Chains A and B, each alone.
Chain A
Amino acid sequence: RKEVEQDPGPFNVPEGATVAFNCTYSNSASQSFFWYRQDCRKEPKLLMSVYSSGNEDGRFTAQLNRASQYISLLIRDSKLSDSATYLCVVKIIPNNDMRFGAGTRLTVKP
């Protein structure tokens, strides 16, 4: 089983749609969780950290289920500029390295 597994997509949605991405991780010692965004041929950029109680940042909502080892990202009212690959990332404390999923590609169309 892969350490961090994501549906590769692609997800093709119209502007204004709501889209949800899922991610599962295999190492129960994983302690920190993130969603990064990566545009084509660019570096990963932090979108948001994921907290146990769930957290929201504008149109983006992240959820964590430790029992199921499952992370989700919900994007509401999607914009053209949301088109990117969304990377699920886990970190195992006290290690420094981050383990990336392969990413889910999103294309938002007019």
Chain B
Amino acid sequence: EPEVTQTPSHQVTQMGQEVILRCVPISNHLYFYWYRQILGQKVEFLVSFYNNEISEKSEIFDDQFSVERPDGSNFTLKIRSTKLEDSAMYFCASSAGNQETQYFGPGTRLLVL
């Protein structure tokens, strides 16, 4: 069964550093998403991406964040100048269509020290 994969599974970084979280969506999917979940809190939408551009973003997704699809398979989330409060689980998701089910990857646990 096809699945969304994410690397790394865990990332520890120093405050102020840049991190890139990587995702490989399901191969025939066209819509890609990033969500985050701070420990003990709800899952929060960050951004959706379609046709090589951002289609929607939340108020969390400020200038510190960017997304990219550098090739035909990868979808990345870059966080510049990380802050302590960026520590969270970051989930990538993909769907075949706008109204189709979103499938989540296993997540990257980011810890900012």
Q: Do A and B bind each other?
A: yes
Which residues of A are at the interface with B, using a C-beta cutoff of 8 A? 32, 38, 41-46, 49, 87, 93-103
- Chain B residues engaging chain A, CB cutoff 8 angstroms: 31, 33, 41-45, 48, 50, 55-56, 58, 89, 91, 98-99, 101-107, 109
Contact residues in A for B43 (Cβ distance below 8 Å)? 38, 44, 87, 100
Q: Name the CB-closest residue of B to A94.
A: B98
Q: Given A99-B45, A100-B44, A46 and B101 touching (CB < 8 A)?
A: yes
> Are A96 and B48 also in contact (CB < 8 A) when A44-B43, A103-B42 are?
yes
Q: A43-B91, A43-B106 are in contact. Are A96 and B56 (CB under 8 A)?
A: yes
Residue of chain B at shortest CB distance from A46: B101
A90 to chain B, nearest CB (A): 11
Specify the chain B residue showing the minimal Cβ separation from A97.
B45
Question: How many A-B residue pairs lie within 8 Å, measured between CB atoms?
Answer: 46
- For residue B33, which residues in chain A have a CB less than 8 angstroms away from its CB? 96-97
Query: What are the 9 tightest A-B residue pairs by CB atom distance, in nearest-first order?
Result: A97-B45, A96-B48, A43-B104, A100-B43, A102-B42, A100-B42, A96-B56, A44-B104, A43-B106
* Closest chain B residue, CB of each to CB of A93: B99
How long is the Cα–Cα vector from A42 to B91 in the complex, in angstroms? 10
Q: Provided the pairs A44-B91, A101-B42, A102-B42 are in contact, do residues A95 and B56 lie with their beta carbons within 8 angstroms? A: yes
Docked-complex contact B41 and A102, CB < 8 angstroms: yes
| Cα separation A44 to B98 with both chains bound (whole Å) | 18
- 16 A-B Cβ contacts within 8 A? A41-B109, A43-B91, A43-B105, A44-B43, A44-B104, A46-B102, A87-B42, A96-B50, A96-B98, A97-B33, A97-B45, A97-B48, A98-B45, A98-B102, A100-B43, A102-B41
